[in-house]
Structure 1
């Protein structure tokens, strides 16, 4: 744990692009250690006396509970701050908010719409800032996803993750994490819903160094072929509800069902960041079946975020 703290001291987590593959591996290793301690009832108050401010522009179940519980298990304290609870929602600037919170707490977690707001917060903060989701990135989720893949397969070497659905914030962070860790990644989306070009270009550069492969296609069967993990997300993310009917039609051929899973390896696992809509992006047969690791994955949000907070705030 000391090595991890020394490695990441003074950093923010805005996107995983700012972290090396070695640093991401250290976070996952620490998360596995903390998970074992928690399951065995070993007290691990690495953040005793520390306080985390949690700013929420978007509602959440897993993010709020996992960060609050995580801080408690680490011996610290978490403050929930909705946009309506603080002056940021009444016109105070992001820089002023960052400077004030820096005098009160030891770290800031923010779940926001615009990624630029998180960048501005970090630029004006003297304490660590953790991106708990923006419209462009979801790095904490990707850390939990790759931790789950590692637990299920015992290695990242020669493993392939296939993501089927919207080229959204979850897809962006998954692509970056896989590229950094040398995990082959294939993304299948309907035409017009691909990941952002700048994220694809970034990942292509990284895989040229790590030796992993990256495929972006409109063919879900091509993407899933010989995959070790098949991943999907809701077709209509928060903020895009007005497009729901159009998206339902466009994404129907991208449902993860037993037929699509048959193109993956026989021992492939199924992943989903949750919440899920059974009968849309995934069938109940798959998400509630023996290949599903979605609740292990949800639990792992707690452990990777604890590792991350220890690394940045201890």
Structure 2
């Protein structure tokens, strides 16, 4: 039994095993089982929830979905996990507080998958890396994350540590993720990048306005550069309208990989395959 709370808890071989399982699911030969997956999601969740629910159902797990606020009660989360163990096989949690995911996993009652917190979003980054791996060797790609410290920035830092990725963050110094390789020279950073990543600015829209990715910036990049804005992105905020129309944009179908990757994460944590 395994859990996914942070990618730092996994090894590169764990990630490779998940990617192999994702390939199998994408080809229609992923492992199947019988059971149930309890899921906690806020009403704002769209892509992550749709793909976890659909993915679980396709692999033989009945999804039982609760609002994330169900976990905001005085009951000890270790007790929640041990009661759920009687009826379900795995827990998928999207909750603002990473400590909630940690507490459920620490009970060692059943596998727990982090479907996003305010601190990180490991499944999102695994999906992106799996999709990029179809296009080349991710270990030699130069990744540029444009944006402030936040859950997406930290998830990419986790992945970079586990997989030894070449990752640099571009933003004002005071908004950088602690410990990240950093620059504030956006034009120079884009020129050397193979993959350009963005996230929403949150409370830092004014400070990050000059870091908006535009088509003119993407024109400066290496041939074949991939532009992967994390959804939900907003045109005219972290990305320009013409950037989303640029040939570098990975496209909406890039996120199709969320389905097999999240199936793979569940299968890996359940010891399937």
Q: CA contact under 8 A between 1:178 and 1:185: conserved in structure 2?
A: yes
* Structure 2 residue aligned with 1:102: 85
Residue 108 (structure 1) shift = 0.3
Match status 1:155 vs 2:140: no
* Structure 1 residue aligned with 2:217: 260
Residue 96 (structure 1) shift = 2.0
Normalized against structure 1, the TM-score is what?
0.81
Structure 2: any 5+ residue segments left out of the alignment?
none
* Structure 1 residue aligned with 2:175: 193
* Structure 2 residue aligned with 1:121: 104
Give the secondary-structure state (helix, strand or coil) at the position aligned to 1:307.
Answer: helix
Match status 1:146 vs 2:129: yes
Pick the aligned partner of 2:185 from 201, 213, 219: 219
Give the secondary-structure state (helix, strand or coil) at the position aligned to 1:133.
Answer: coil
* Structure 1 residue aligned with 2:258: 301
Question: What's the CA shift string for 1:238-284, capped at 9, x where partnerless?
Answer: xxxxx3xxx22111011011222233212101112211101110112
Question: Pairwise CA RMSD of aligned residues?
Answer: 1.8
CA distance in 2, matches of 1:232, 1:83: 26
CA distance in 2, matches of 1:190, 1:129: 35
Give the secondary-structure state (helix, strand or coil) at the position aligned to 2:140.
Answer: coil
The structure 1 segments of at least 4 consecutive aligned residues displaced by more than 6 Å after TM superposition are: none
Match status 1:17 vs 2:15: no
Tell me how many residue pairs correspond in the alignment: 271
Residue 117 (structure 1) shift = 1.4
CA distance in 2, matches of 1:163, 1:290: 19
CA distance in 2, matches of 1:105, 1:157: 37
Residue 294 (structure 1) shift = 4.1
* Structure 2 residue aligned with 1:70: 55
CA distance in 2, matches of 1:77, 1:289: 40
Q: CA contact under 8 A between 1:161 and 1:227: conserved in structure 2?
A: yes
